[in-house]
Amino acid sequence: MGKGKQSKFKERGAASYKREVKSIELRPAQREKLIVISFKDLDGNQGQTFELWEEENLLALAVRKLQGVCSLTRIEATRQQIIKEYPKGTFPDKSDFYHPKHIPEDISWCSMHIQGKECIIGYFEDNVFYIVFLDKDHRFWITEKKHT
C-alpha cells in the first residue's frame, strides 16, 4: 500500500465509523380482542337467580366456564363451539322465555352450555358477551329430545 493511503486510514478515528441509526415507526399489531363478560342486561324476571344456581352447585361451574371463555376471542369461542351463536334477529319460536324490552331486537342470541342442559343465554356486542338469562332447564331454545 502506498504511504498516502496508510495515513488516510490512520487519521480516521472510531467516531468516523459510526452510522446513524434510523428508526422505522411500526404500527402496533392488531390483536383480536378477548371476550369480556357483562351482567348489565341480566333479566331477573326470567330464568333463575344466582342464589338458585349456587344452591344447585351450578354457579361455581358457570364462573369457571366464564373465566375460561375470557381467554378466548369471540371467533375462537364460536369455532370451538363453546358459545353457539344463532342467526341475527332470531328469537326462538319454542321458548319459555320472551324477548326482554331492554334488549335490542336485531341481536344474535347465543347460548353457552355449562354442563348437560344448563345454559347461559346472552348476546355479543363486539367482544362483550352480555348475559341475559340463566337457564338451568334448557327452556330458552326448546328442542325435541333425540333418540328417546
Predicted confidence (pLDDT) per residue in 101-117, tens digit: 999 999 999 999 999 99
* Cell numbers given for 8: 488516510
pLDDT of residue 119: 97
pLDDT of residue 25: 76
Q: Which residues of 57-83 are buried (b: 16+ CB within 10 A; e: fewer)?
A: ebbeebeebbeebeebebeebeeeeeb
pLDDT, tens digit (0-9, with 9 covering 90-100), for 115-127: 999 999 999 999 9
**Whether pLDDT at 49 is above 90:** yes
- Which domains are delineated in the chain? 32-100+107-143 (3.30.2310)
The DSSP 8-state label assigned to residue 15 in this structure reads G
**Whether pLDDT at 7 is above 80:** no
pLDDT of residue 24: 74
**Whether pLDDT at 73 is above 90:** yes
* Cell numbers given for 17: 465509523
**Where residue 82 falls among pLDDT bands split at 50, 70, 90?**
very high
pLDDT of residue 16: 62
pLDDT of residue 29: 72
Question: For residues 91 and 54, what is the distance between their CA atoms, to the nearest angstrom?
Answer: 28
pLDDT of residue 3: 60
